[in-house]
Amino acid sequence: MNTYTYNRMTTSTTTPIPAHQGVDGCNQHISWSSKCEECHKRREKTLQRTAVKGLSREIPLIVADVLLSPSQPLDTHTRSFMESRFGHDFSHVHVHTNAPAAASARAVNAHAYTVGHDIVFGAGQYVPETSAGQQLLAHELTHVVQQNGLGMGSFSSLRVGPIDNPLERQAAASARDVGGAVALSQSTGSLLQRAPIDPSERPIQPHGGTVPYREATELSDCIRVLGEGSAAYCRQLVLGEPVPPRPTQHQLPGITTPLPINVELNPDSTASLQVNQINVVFDPDAHSSDPTKAGHADTNFNLSAFGIHYQATNGRVTSFTGPGPVQVRIQTTYGPGVAPGSASGYGRGTTTSDLATGNISLSFHEGQHGLDFLEFMHAHPFPRFIGRRGMSVQQFEAAMQSFRVARDRYSQEMNRFSEERTDCVGRTKDQANAANGIRTTICRQVVPRRL
């Protein structure tokens, strides 16, 4: 029985945020608790957003619809990452990311906005595995702490918070330095706090500007009637936007590697697919306490064991069993001191294009290894066992040995393919090791270009 496993580690470092004192009469640690009854009396509900100056302070009704609609909690990895930096419990945070949520964000001209424990994101803005996504989430979580969990309450008392006050400056500081420390103050007034859209960037609405209230309402009604699956059609019908290309990959909870859009989680939290007649299983991410893995992450594949057994008469093989179906299991493991949102130490996550797009996280790097493995298997059929009944025992055993060697070579080449594609670009693994006083020659002089 032969089993083939490849292991690799990617280095990253992370610095937690300590608690700091606030700046006014309702000062607080980032892990906030009210000091005085007067502070409670002063607090009202706030809608805070990340918005351009001069926006009307009237709250569109679609905001109330979204805040009362189903939501999802922060995923485990993102929540752990942010809680360690803020020193605050985010277990009650509700995230809204569907099409009505995006429409409501456009209606208040925001990438995202916060009311109490509810954070509402614009289209494509909730991407906590990227640097830009972490910054936006940190901005909004700052508002969660500032508001101390106040809900919407009376919709008539809700107002859009200003974008040029100390609370927004604190949120902007948190976004700029996710790994640093920021002292937080308490919000006053019934505000919707938001992350503003710069009119010059237009990241979500390709035809520019804020979506008028009427159109935002029509879009929400269209999606409500036709369902989430018709969101793109509704956007085309109401806003005149072209229907975007259908995504080919998506991120499944607890699995670092992006997988084909038709792959879903199994009841045991694994994900499975077949690639070129190979049964591929992605196990859920693991978090190791092994001190030898501190500061590292690795994405490994394990080629299933095989067994070939035969019977022979008069020196000829009369029957045999095996080698059986081929299975490759892939898993990402994060060691002590790192999380999916930590920065990549080398390779993917450090290239010019990655830096430009904000894809600098450790999870992005490790996900590329998983994608490399899938790409290799798509392009390279697994070796076939050529043993047959009627062969001489000598010929059959030679075929068994050839199959064993071919399997080992396949694993080695798949690992090498991923090293060159993901570890040997940008700041290479050899360069990162050299900076730590370790000389390695993992990367060749010329490596394939990553498109």
pLDDT in 10s for each residue of the chain, 451 residues: 444 444 455 555 333 323 222 223 333 322 323 333 333 333 344 566 554 333 334 677 888 888 888 899 999 888 988 888 888 899 999 999 988 888 888 888 888 899 889 999 988 888 888 877 888 898 899 888 888 755 555 555 677 776 666 777 777 777 666 654 444 545 545 556 666 555 444 333 433 345 565 666 677 767 766 666 677 777 777 777 776 676 788 899 999 999 999 999 999 999 999 999 999 999 999 999 999 999 999 999 999 988 999 999 999 999 999 999 999 999 999 999 999 999 999 999 999 999 988 899 999 999 999 999 999 999 999 999 999 999 999 999 999 999 999 999 999 999 999 999 999 999 999 999 999 899 999 997 544 444 3
pLDDT the model gives residue 219: 74
SS3 content of the chain, % helix, strand, coil (to 5): 35, 20, 45
pLDDT the model gives residue 290: 94
pLDDT the model gives residue 374: 97
Q: Residue 348: how many CB atoms within 10 A of its CB?
A: 26
In sign, the C-alpha dihedral spanning 289, 335, 252, 242 is positive
Return the C-alpha torsion angle 354, 82, 72, 51, nearest 10.
-70
Question: Tokens representing 336?
Answer: 């002590």
Place of tokens 């080992």: 408
Q: Residue 107: how many CB atoms within 10 A of its CB?
A: 24
pLDDT the model gives residue 299: 97
Tell me the DSSP string of 115-172: ETTEEEE-TT---TTSHHHHHHHHHHHHHHHHHTT-----GGG-EEPPSSSHHHHHHH
pLDDT the model gives residue 426: 94
pLDDT the model gives residue 130: 80
Asked whether the beta carbons of 133 and 126 are under 8 A apart, the reply is: yes
Decide: residue 7, CB within 10 A, 0-12 exposed, 13-18 middle, 19+ buried: exposed
